[in-house]
Structure 1
């Protein structure tokens, strides 16, 4: 593994361009674009949060550059032509053009405020979510006009685009009822259809990869999931046969759209198919790991004391127990249940994390079209520290990156070859060659060749060294 020098960033705002050629970073009120292969600076913009002139003295500059004046959101357009920098506390979004450093557009949110700003899939519209769920404003860089959607339910999770970018789905509150609005991006985001949802208090929604079904589920008090078409027809309703106690925490579509994984506030995962929308598999994750499962445990060696060791392979155990945290039964939202369900790029592996097992990762094998349908637990990764983030490589289906807030990068891969020349898996920790650098999050480049390692105020890049 090869590491770059460490560079500064703020608020973990580091993003690869869609083509993986550039790396966009925010440093308080400054935007910096670097070339991803060597991190050389390509563009720099100093970002005053409005069209007001920059401070004339260093004292004025320090007073105006407090946390409230920092950049809160950044993003690339789909073609890497434009860059946005949002100042949520100031209600301002600045847009820059890569090929023309002098070009600039400014969006001012107004009295409704700004909570976040994101690009639409076409790269020529920006979605600005106001504070308190008042409305979504869709600004066009082409015409300068705006389209308004009133009363979105959840600016973080209550909306999504269809995979082709044609339709925008927004969960709204209309006449005190949960409502789904479908907006046509090809016609200036005109309302194409609007219908009431069967939910009483929607938690979130997700559209299938094929774009023909929408999954919508209730809040934590009720375990109910609805499958609807884009015309509003309720195809199916899923509720477990037993009393699950609380509702659904996370839902994840299989990349092919044929299955839907559902996890709640318990240690059970349901796999629904897209024909009957009933469970075709129920996977109960227990503390005691069954025989025949690959168990990998991080070695209890301090990274600070292993200056000469770059790679620390995990121990491979025959038996093991996942350390579960004691249930907090008296609290309304206990620290238990499924907090992450992620498929790898080809849908053959499913990553599962439980909040009451914060140091462990379950990896489930999911059969392909030519295999017998038998989803099962394949591997378990045991760590000494709580896992902060775990992300699949976006291109290589058998590579996983993990961060635990330590000075090491943790990886799991099924692309290794054993002594017999057969494919096998391997888990290891790679020490970061820097003092006082703790990996809090990782982000893969779109081409899967590089990853960004984020500390609280710094970042570096890591890439696998190919043997020639």
Structure 2
């Protein structure tokens, strides 16, 4: 891996453009755009400069808008930032002063601003069309969709959550929003091509909606209850209830993680107990239960991070995990279930891009990442029932708790992790090995990669859209890592 220099960032707001040609970074009240090949700065903007310059005003009338004072602007750091789908526009929002500013990559002088006024701003993000911006107000009052093309706004009242409980269909045509009317959970379906015209509005079976997730096909929603009940409802976007899942006995604490299989055939559900239920899309009942176990059975690949390898390599280079013979015993922390939100359950469920592997991280075993081999729909329909059952394939054991893990968005068999140390970790099942007869075969391999920088603790990790690079984030800085064109020797980075 080749690493870049260390750069500053604020609130983890670092994102590659959809085409991976540019990199957006928010540094306090500034937006910095760099080229991803040379990391040279292409554009910079500052929040608040447009208050003294003519702009395209989208929000409250200028006559009713009070410009922030210098003291307010000095502490007004960017809280939300992102690219439009075509990389033409950049959004930067500050919830403290209730302002969203939009910049144009190809025209440094163009600027638009949304002033949210007295209703406040809790969240701002792009709609899939790249020309509309969603602004969630404080206190769940409403969500406003502002159009850059027409300068008009569409208001939708009483969203339940500003950070979850809504979804766009894959083609971006429909917007589904969990709403609360007359103390009841409802779902609104809106047509984005018709200025977010209401298409359907129907009650949900939930009593206190926690969140929802749209299937990859875009025709089915998984809706689940709050922390008092462990219930998942499967509803169509037409309002029909297809199924309800609640494990027996239902001991409360609710649902913690949900993940759709890329094909939409399966739904992985986990609560605050160390069990993962795999639901299938015919009866919406569990076809498999994956449970965290202290004893890893034979036949599972167990990889363990070498002790003090960072000091041995001085953070320059990479080293393979130690291969441990199974069966092997893990250390599992027993949670205090009498306390609110105990440290248990699956903190992350994530399928790879092909749906053949499932990553699970349990808070009861924070140092461990579990990788399950997941059957394809063809395997599930096969007569051999064993082929259609998810099985534990590999276990990665680290010296520190895993803080972030992400699948490569392009290559199905590549997983990157970080643990808050001066390193990153890569597991791959497509490592090419040539045998004595000259034949190439794919093998599984796990590597520890040192970050050649001092006092850089990687707490979050993100892939670029093309799967060729990574962003590693610490508390206030970040760096990028890219695949080397040629395999480096074992003592080089």
TM over 0.5: yes
Q: Shift in Å at residue 370 of structure 1?
A: 3.9
**Which structure 1 residue ranges, 5 or more long, are not aligned?**
54-59
Name the residue aligned to 1:40: 40
Q: 1:18 to 1:146 in 2, by over 3 A?
A: same
> How big is each residue's C-alpha offset from its partner over 1:372-417, in whole Å with a ceiling of 9 and x where there is no partner?
3121111111111111110111101111111111000111111113
Q: 1:353 aligns with which of 335, 351, 361?
A: 361
Partner SS, residue 119 of structure 2: coil
1:182 has 2:189 as partner: yes
2:298 corresponds in structure 1 to: 291
2:176 maps to 169
Aligned to 1:57: none
- Structure 1 position 245, deviation (Å): 4.3
Q: Is the 8 A contact 2:48 2:73 kept in 1?
A: no
Q: For residue 340 of structure 1, what is the aligned residue in structure 2?
A: 348
Q: Is structure 2 residue 477 aligned with structure 1 residue 458?
A: yes
Secondary structure (helix, strand or coil) at the match of 1:277 reads coil
Runs of 4+ in 1 over 4 A off after TM superposition: 60-66
Q: Distance in 2 between matches of 1:154 and 1:314?
A: 42
Match of 1:133 among 112, 134, 140: 140
The reply to whether residue 408 of structure 1 matches residue 415 of structure 2 is no
> How many corresponding residue pairs?
461
The 10-residue stretch of structure 1 (246-255 or 387-396) with the greater mean CA deviation from structure 2: 246-255
Asked if 2 retains the 8 angstrom alpha-carbon contact of 1:70 and 1:87, the reply is yes
Distance 1:234 1:370 in 2: 27
Q: For 2:209 and 2:394, how far apart are their aligned partners in 1? A: 34
Of the three residues 391, 411, 423, the one matched with 1:396 is 411
Cα pair 1:392 1:400 within 8 Å, conserved: yes
Give the direction of change, closer, same or farther, for the CA distance of 1:369–1:199 in structure 2 (3 Å limit): closer
Distance 1:219 1:179 in 2: 15
CA-CA distance at 1:49 after TM superposition: 6.8
Q: Give the aligned partner of residue 428 of structure 1.
A: 447
In 2, Cα distance between equivalents of 1:298 and 1:285: 20
Provide the rounded CA distance (Å) in 1 between the counterparts of 2:165 and 2:183. 16
Q: What do the CA deviations read for 1:115-160 (whole angstroms, capped 9, x no partner)?
A: 1100000001000011111110100001111111111111111111
Residue in 2 that maps onto 1:380 = 395
Residue 241 of structure 1 deviates from its aligned partner by 3.2
Aligned residue runs from structure 1 range 6-405, under 5 A: 6-48=6-48, 51-52=51-52, 63=71, 66=74, 68-301=75-308, 303-307=310-314, 309-319=316-326, 320-371=328-379, 372-405=387-420
Q: Decide whether the 8 Å contact of 1:49 with 1:87 is kept in 2.
A: no
Q: TM-score, normalised by structure 2?
A: 0.90
Shift of residue 283, structure 1, vs aligned partner: 1.4
Measure, in 1, the Cα distance between the counterparts of 2:46 and 2:238. 46
CA distance in 1, matches of 2:182, 2:119: 21
2:227–2:252: 8 Å Cα contact kept in structure 1?
A: no
1:291-318 alpha-carbon deviations (Å, 9 max, x no partner): 1111111111152453275112111111
Q: d(CA) in 2 for partners of 1:243 and 1:99?
A: 55
Once residues 426 and 71 of structure 2 are traced to their aligned partners in structure 1, the CA distance between those partners, rounded to angstroms, is: 42
Return the TM-score normalized by structure 1.
0.95
Distance in 1 of aligned mates of 2:190 and 2:107? 32
How much has 1:62 moved relative to structure 2?
8.9
Bigger shift: 370-379 or 82-91? 370-379
In structure 2, stretches of 5+ residues that fail to align are: 54-67, 380-386, 488-493
Return the offset for 1:4. 1.0
Indicate conservation of the 8 Å contact 2:315/2:451, yes or no: no
RMSD: 1.8
Question: Offset of 1:322 from its aligned partner?
Answer: 2.3
